[in-house]
Structure 1
């Protein structure tokens, strides 16, 4: 339907402003005429504009949306038709689309991008369990529920297909900028194309432009067909987990790309800590354990439980909508953070004595391991990690070294015969595991504090700018 045409008329609805239009459909904001005055979005498909492929796409969209209900997938409430049009009556999303949201902010803070990614991953997990692939994932097809507290809603299933893991297609679908290389190159492809698209969307959210931003389709096609490995923009400041996920999603070869199961369990996606109605309950259960251990004088275990509880308290803050309850919860969280900091100081003091006790045993173990270069190398790696921790340098790097050395030492332990060296090796592994767990707790607490603080700053900025962004 051309711009300027009056919206069509439906008995039950009043169609108002046009929200957007595509190849064969126009979407309007509408109100239900009955008492509820419910606001909906109505996709009007002009029958004369439909070719065979368009009909198939529309039928697929209706079939899929009728069968699914998920908090992060746009709901199809009903569909109707008359002599001229087919009408899809959809859930209305007042926050516009993700593309507009990113453009209005230029780029998103990592913690905001991560929350949106969790919501998208939640929707994709739901679809994946039903063998459904979207095949046209892009920011324009991701809607936001509201301007002030946006929740992501996956939309536009016109290209979606029921695809078993072994299905392979070679039909060109989707939008080139977000399309996997195997699709652009007209090779066979499978459901993994959606994972590539997720990587492009996350990249654009964090850096303000997609990895293959181009001035022409020819330039875009050359970039996609290139064998050059995807790299993050110079000076990009993102966490290790975020970088790891981005590069594994944006792997050109689908055989080497991250698999769905790995994606859903990746530490940056971390669906277990996604804000939900259960977040506060999980946080409260963990903090009660922390208080018990704290009262019993078990500082290290108490610190661990406090840190684990913060991993759920921060999502609970995101989820809470009532301003008064949110402020009370924030006050409690600050108390727990303060106590965790006090415990961290106490544990650090205990560590100094533990370092000295463990050092003599480690030196003896090294002396007994001169005939085993691989074991000696793993012990040297552990010593380097301990030195980094003692000096308070790069805890994330120290944790990496602990984990690498533990991987080697556990293999050594499995093949070590009974004797003095095995006993010392066993004790050394226990010590290093304890250090690694402590550093994990420290880094998680730091991450939770940073996210809580940046969430405050981001929401304050939003309250000032929201009227500008969502006119």
Structure 2
């Protein structure tokens, strides 16, 4: 018999433990089956007294939909039970929490991670849409991760889901405003394709750390969606911040990464006003990147001169250390290779080889002047290696060749974002 106990509901066959989360109508608990397997599950506990007619219909639809589908990227409903007070949905347990927490603890996700997640989400949506099911509340909070070690997405919370053919139109407002398609926000009339807009917002949040139309009110959200103003990405905001702090190298890197997203928009944007706005932004970022490039280049030349001086002193003090001399020779070769056009990756390989040796030698070196110089040399070489990594990353971006050649900005951006 279910009932209150130590602040937790009680359900025959299960031991409920910690609370995983709660919403308007439901609270989710982690639980263990009392059977021999001790299977871990998540139990969604819905208080009957909190339900109105609409929420009862939503709950019944959720149970009906989940009981009839099995997919590797949709959370599984294992069973459901009820008593006088609650309805219990016994769900597959996802140890990795939700996608919102996963994104925010990492600030942004690498493109390769976001790509895999989007493929998994697309697979689940295709499966649903082939069965004329629309989720209608897609957002990172409703997407769970199987684990943190090797996470797989699991689409969850079908409380707003509906059976909809592609041509069906609805008028009832459902879902979370920040992730709603313009048809829902601006016209209040929509069809099954609104899920696709939500996927785009989720992808944006994964890459930039926040949804594109963050707003304080529904009217502000509608105004932003209707507006032709460009979305200022988190990369641009961070670039401006680093620029104001005087960190030229970091600002340059961030501006170039931001251009990596803005530039393809020039190629695909069809609205003339938005295209001109994007072009103006690109020109602004390119202009500042040119200025920062000169500052960074000057700084790196000074670092290179400093490294040469330290290396000369170290060589004088390391005549009895052939292994140290050999590692320094590799570092010199890396510096020389760096000066050759198109040899950045070769130079980076040499830097990494040299650092591998020097770090071992530094750990074994006794305190004294030579150890201080060796420590300085390692720091200098690490700075050079990081500089080269960024240079290689920027050079390997293909957007300038694909899009900016058509806009007359190619040479300018290529010059700004390729540090020689």
Given the two structures, how large is their TM-score scaled by the length of structure 1? 0.50
In structure 2, list runs of 5 or more residues that go unmatched. 237-254, 272-394, 405-420
Show the counterpart of 2:257: 237
In structure 1, list runs of 5 or more residues that go unmatched. 252-391, 402-471
Question: 1:19-62 deviations in whole A, cap 9, x for unaligned?
Answer: 11111111100000010000000001111111011001101100
Give the Cα–Cα distance (whole angstroms) in 1 for the partners of residues 263 and 178 of structure 2: 20
Question: 1:300-359 deviations in whole A, cap 9, x for unaligned?
Answer: xxxxxxxxxxxxxxxxxxxxxxxxxxxxxxxxxxxxxxxxxxxxxxxxxxxxxxxxxxxx
Show the counterpart of 1:170: 171
**Is 1:87 the equivalent of 2:88?**
yes
Question: 1:43-83 deviations in whole A, cap 9, x for unaligned?
Answer: 01111111011001101100110011001000000011111
Is the CA contact (8 Å cut-off) linking 1:180 and 1:197 kept in structure 2? yes
Is the CA contact (8 Å cut-off) linking 2:95 and 2:145 kept in structure 1? yes
Give the Cα–Cα distance (whole angstroms) in 2 for the partners of residues 205 and 98 of structure 1: 9
Label 1:231 to 1:241 Cα distance change in 2 as closer, same or farther (>3 A).
closer
Give the Cα–Cα distance (whole angstroms) in 1 for the partners of residues 111 and 227 of structure 2: 28
Q: Which aligned pairs between 1:218-367 and structure 2 lie closer than 5 A?
A: 218-226=219-227, 228=229, 234=236, 235=255, 237=257
**Is 1:99 the equivalent of 2:119?**
no
Give the Cα–Cα distance (whole angstroms) in 1 for the partners of residues 65 and 116 of structure 2: 25
Show the counterpart of 1:362: none
Label 1:222 to 1:118 Cα distance change in 2 as closer, same or farther (>3 A).
same
Q: Which aligned pairs between 1:6-405 and structure 2 lie closer than 5 A?
A: 6-226=7-227, 228=229, 234=236, 235=255, 237=257
- Match of 1:108, SS? coil
Question: 1:82-125 deviations in whole A, cap 9, x for unaligned?
Answer: 11111100000010000000110000111111111111011111
Give the Cα–Cα distance (whole angstroms) in 1 for the partners of residues 47 and 191 of structure 2: 31
Give the Cα–Cα distance (whole angstroms) in 1 for the partners of residues 97 and 397 of structure 2: 41
- Match of 2:72, SS? coil
Aligned residues: 260
> Greater Rg, structure 1 or structure 2?
2
Give the Cα–Cα distance (whole angstroms) in 2 for the partners of residues 213 and 94 of structure 1: 28
- Match of 1:206, SS? helix
Q: Give the Å deviation of 1:8.
A: 1.2
Label 1:56 to 1:229 Cα distance change in 2 as closer, same or farther (>3 A).
farther
- Match of 2:200, SS? helix
Q: Give the Å deviation of 1:228.
A: 4.5
- Match of 2:169, SS? coil
- Match of 1:237, SS? helix
Give the Cα–Cα distance (whole angstroms) in 2 for the partners of residues 398 and 93 of structure 1: 43
Give the Cα–Cα distance (whole angstroms) in 2 for the partners of residues 217 and 4 of structure 1: 41
Is the CA contact (8 Å cut-off) linking 1:171 and 1:186 kept in structure 2? no
Give the Cα–Cα distance (whole angstroms) in 1 for the partners of residues 143 and 268 of structure 2: 22
Give the Cα–Cα distance (whole angstroms) in 1 for the partners of residues 200 and 182 of structure 2: 13
